Structure 1
Amino acid sequence: MKKDWRNIEKTFLELGIDYKLKSWVYWCKVNNQEFYYSPQKERWRVKGKKVWQQSESTVDFIEQAKNYIPPNRTKSQQKKTSSTSNSNSRKNKQSNKSNRNKKLQQQPK
C-alpha cells in the first residue's frame, strides 16, 4: 500500500510534532527526543541508534515515541563510570599510604 505523504505530515502537524523530511525518512522530535520514521516500512528508530522498531501507523509511531524511555546508561558510559571509580579507589589507596607514612614519621623513635 502506497503512503500518502501529505496525510503523514498532516498527522504530525495535528499532534504538534516537529518534523523534517530527509530523503526517504522523517526526522521527528517527540518529548525532546529525536527519532527517524520510515512510513514506507512503518519503522522508527531513535537518532543515534541503529535498531529499528516496528509500528502499525504514523499515530502508532508517535504513541511509541511518546512512551519511549531511553536506557539509563550506554555501554561506553558504564565503562567511563567504572574507570572513574577505579581511578578514585587508586587515589584513595595512595592517600591512605601517604597518611600512614606521615604518621610513622611523626611518631617518636
Structure 2
Amino acid sequence: NINFTNVCYTGCRFCAFAQRRTDADAYTLSLDQVADRAAQAWDVGAVEVCMQGGIHPDLPGTAYFDIARAVKERVPGMHVHAFSPMEVVNGATRTGMSIRDWLTAAKEAGLDSIPG
C-alpha cells in the first residue's frame, strides 16, 4: 500500500488515519516519492500497488491522474489499483467531470483497477 497523503478533512468517525494539515504527523508524498515506493515494491517482487489517501483540500482533482501516471512512468508493468470511491467522487467533483469521464481519464493516466 502507498498512502500518498494522510491529510483529510472529511471527518469520518471510524477513521484513525486522517490528520489536519497542521498536525505533526501530517504528510503528503511527492510524485517522486510515490513512484520511488512503487519501484521499491517492484524490485522485491510486487506486481500490483494499492494507493489511497485522505481527501486533501489542497490537491486538485487531477492529482489522482498525476499519481497514477508517475507510477506507470517509473514502473510500466506495475498494476495500479487505486482510489477509493470517495476519492473518485472528489476527483470528479473538483474537475467538474462526470464520474465516467473522470474514470476514463484516470485509466488513460495509468489506473488499472479501483477498490470497493
* TM score, norm. by length of structure 1: 0.20
Structure ranking higher in helix proportion: 1
Which is bigger in relative contact order (C-alpha 8 A, separation at least 6)?
A: 2
Larger radius of gyration: 1
Structure ranking higher in strand proportion: 1
* TM score, norm. by length of structure 2: 0.19
